[in-house]
Structure formats: C-alpha cells, structure tokens
Amino acid sequence: MSRTHRIALLPGDGVGPEVTLAARRVMETAAANLDVELSFDEYAIGWAGVLEMGHPLPEATLQGAHAADAVFLGAVGDPAAEGVDPERRPEAGLLALRAALGLYTNLRPLKVISALADTSPLRRERVEGVDLMIVRELAGGLYYGQPRELTGTGEARAALNTLRYDASEVTRVAEVAFQLAVARRGQLVSIDKANVLETSRLWRQVVDEVALGHPGVEYGHMLVDRAAMELVLRPGQFDVILTENLFGDILSDEAAGVAGSLGLLPSASLGTGTPLFEPVHGSAPDLAGQGLANPTAAILSAAMLMEHALNLPAAARAIEEAVDAIFAAGTRTGDLGGDAGTAVGTEAFTDAVVARLVGSFSSA
C-alpha cells in the first residue's frame, strides 16, 4: 500500500459543510475500494474562521493547508458578514489562501451530462456533448491589484481598484492552458477586452508568444462581451477557454447556467503550493442548513482532487461515472427541477453515488 494521502478539509460556510461531507464520503469510498489510505483534517475558514478563531484564514488553517497533499474547500460567505472590515470578510480568507498557496491556475470544466441536457435552459441540441474547460487566471488582476481603497463620506466617497498583470503572470497560466488544449481537442480561445484595456493588450501579446510554442493548437482571441454571448448561443464551439481572473469568475457562473445549475460545476486550483479543490458555487445562504444543496459540484471536485493531487485517475473516472449513472437513473436534487415530491436532498443523493461507486468497484 502507498503512503497515506493527507487531505485538509475546509468546510467553510452555508452549504459548504453539507457538500464537503458529501465529497468526503465519496473520496473515502473510492479510496477504500482502491486500497488507498486517506487522512482528513478539518480546519475553519471564512465566516466560520472568524467565529471560531477570529480570522477568515486562521493560522492553523494555513499551516494545515501547507502540510497537506490537497485542500478541499466547501464554500465561504455569510450574510452576517455584510459590512464588516474587508480583511475580516469570509471571501478574504479564500483569496488569502489562494495567494498563500501560489494557486495561479483555476480549472473550471463544463461537461454536460447527457441525462441532464433537458434541465439546461438551452435546447438539448445546443448543450448535448458540450465539454469545455475554462482556465481562469487566479492569482492576479483586479482581485489582488494594489492600491485599492474605499474612501471619503457622502458625495466625496470614492473607490479604487487596480487591474495589473505582468507578462510572467500571463505566460505561466497560458502555458498550462495550451498544454491542456494539446491533451484535449487542440483548440483554445483566449478571452479579453483588448479593444479597451491595456492589461488585455498585454494578455494578447503574451498569449501570441506562448502559442508559438504550441503550433498544433488551433487558437484565437475573442472579446469578453462577445464570448459571454457565444457561451449561451453555441457553447459547443469551445474546447479550452483561457481568461483573466474576473472574466473567468463571471464566465464560469454563466457556464453553470448553461449546465442548468451552479450545483454542478467543480474546480481545481493549481500552482506552486498545495492544490485546492472547490465547487464553483458559493455558500448558497438560501439553501444552507436544509440538506437541499446539490453535492455534484463538490463530488466532481473530489474527483478532480483524486486525479490532479493524488494521481488516481481511475478513482476520478469511477466517481464521474457514478454521478452520470445516478442522473441517468433519474435522481434529481431540487435545483435540477426535481419537485417537492420527487427531489432528493444532499444526503440521499450522496448515498446513491456512494452505493453506485461501491457497485462499480465490486463489478470491476
């Protein structure tokens, strides 16, 4: 047996703990059936970090993340945090963690599950077979640019954020995106706002330079406003989408809309330190504590964890196939149109995935 893989669990806020439990159960099931040893340590983050330890990224959480082989995060964000100092906001904990772990590449796949093509707001023929990967720059741009401030009172109030990229920040994430395109269908679209923004003009120059090293990739540029439209009109045209931090945040929620729910999209954040895996969705305060959240995004993030951080692609495929099978069997959480009479909650959905996973290993 190989050594024990250490996973830091950061359940966070709202539905975060509910979907983190689902992800943990699925990881435990896959590991047990593959004779892989996992250990889990839980740490507070977000508003839970503030309440328990006085900080959205407590020191113990940061140390635990550094020491782990992978971090799994549920979600951060709580309505009670409205109006608190910016550095005590739950989101600040997540942003600080991404920065501390050097996570500059955020992979956000949208792979439409055939059985769910009819739950998309788009017609089946537009979404069937859609399989795209958003590569979002995660360590720079408006999220981290200095200076930033909100000053003054009354009519004298003013605010400032800084959008800055240097060439090396673009090069490193573009390299990852091109390599991914090579391993996928060989197509890449880089999305920017080069008709208005200097940062986007730099982005284009650097992407053009990186492209020279990958002549087999068919690639082009698209302005972000048009890209937002194309993503709903013809999502099937995209293979790899490469874009900066804020555009990637927005377009990935739009991609979730194409899929039919935010509860479906997983993500992986990679860079120089411990990789981090989290659903694309937030803490969903409207669902929190009710056992109603769709755990699919979290479960598929766990699959990405097993593939990217633990090098267990077989476990990842088994988890994805179990999720596909549960949807093919008609199981639906409320966000996917399951109505009050037929919808299952987080726990029942996870039970079904776990049972299916056990079955797939025993029949293999």
Q: Which of 49, 77, 248, 345 binds ligand NAD (CB under 6 A)?
A: 77
DSSP string covering 165-207, please?
Answer: --HHHHHHHHHHHHHHHHHTTSEEEEEE-TTT-HHHHHHHHHH
CB 295 within 8 A of CB 22: yes
Sign of dihedral through CA atoms 246, 249, 255, 257?
negative
Q: In the bound complex, what is the minimum distance in angstroms from residue 195's beta carbon to ligand IPM? A: 24
Q: Which residue is nearest to ligand IPM (CB)?
A: 91
Residue 264 or 344: the one with the smaller Cβ distance to ligand IPM is: 264
Which residues on adjacent β-strands are paired with residue 316? none
Residue 104 or 219: the one with the smaller Cβ distance to ligand IPM is: 104
The verdict on whether 225 is a catalytic residue reads yes
Task: Considering the candidates 143, 165, 192, 335, report the single residue annotated as catalytic.
Answer: 143
Q: In the bound complex, what is the minimum distance in angstroms from residue 333's beta carbon to Mn ion? A: 20
Binding mask 286-325 for ligand NAD (x = CB under 6 A): xx-----xx--x----------------------------
Task: Considering the candidates 41, 69, 253, 324, report the single residue annotated as catalytic.
Answer: 253
Residue 57 or 280: the one with the smaller Cβ distance to ligand IPM is: 280
Residues across the chain: 364
Residue 25 or 108: the one with the smaller Cβ distance to Mn ion is: 108
Q: In the bound complex, what is the minimum distance in angstroms from residue 269's beta carbon to Mn ion? A: 12
Instruction: Return the H-helix or E-strand segment holding 21.
Output: helix 16-34
The verdict on whether 166 is a catalytic residue reads no
Helix pair angle (46-53, 59-67), 10° resolution: 120
Q: Which of 111, 122, 114 is nearest to 232 (CA)?
A: 122
To which residue do tokens 């047990």 refer?
A: 32
Burial of 74 (0-12, 13-18, 19+ CB in 10 A): buried
Q: In the bound complex, what is the minimum distance in angstroms from residue 352's beta carbon to ligand NAD? A: 16
Q: Examine residue 249 and tell whether it contacts Mn ion (CB under 5 A).
A: yes
The verdict on whether 253 is a catalytic residue reads yes
Contacts to ligand IPM by CB under 6 A: 76-77, 91, 94-95, 249, 280, 282
Residue 91 or 321: the one with the smaller Cβ distance to ligand NAD is: 91
Q: Examine residue 199 and tell whether it contacts ligand NAD (CB under 6 A).
A: no
Q: Which of 8, 5, 11 is nearest to 32 (CA)?
A: 5
Please choose which of ligand NAD, Mn ion, ligand IPM, none residue 262 contacts, taking the beta carbon within 5 to 8 angstroms, the exact cut-off set by kind. ligand NAD
Q: Tell me the three state secondary structure of residue 260.
A: coil
Q: In the bound complex, what is the minimum distance in angstroms from residue 16's beta carbon to ligand IPM? A: 11
Q: Are strands 187-192 and 240-243 parallel, antiparallel or unpaired?
A: parallel
Instruction: Name every residue whose Cβ is closer than 8 Å to that of residue 154 and which is 6 or more positions away in sequence.
Output: none
Q: What distance separates the 2 farthest-apart alpha carbons in the chain?
A: 69
State the CB neighbour count (10 A cutoff) for residue 71. 28
Q: Which stretch binds ligand NAD (CB under 6 A): 51-59, 190-198, 199-207, 279-287?
A: 279-287
Task: Considering the candidates 193, 219, 239, 335, report the single residue annotated as catalytic.
Answer: 193
Residues binding Mn ion: what is the number (CB under 5 A)?
1
Chain contacts with Mn ion (rule: CB under 5 A): 249
Active site residues: 143, 193, 225, 249, 253
> Which residue ranges make up the site for ligand NAD (CB under 6 A)?
15, 19, 75-77, 91, 94, 261-263, 278, 281-287, 293-294, 297, 335
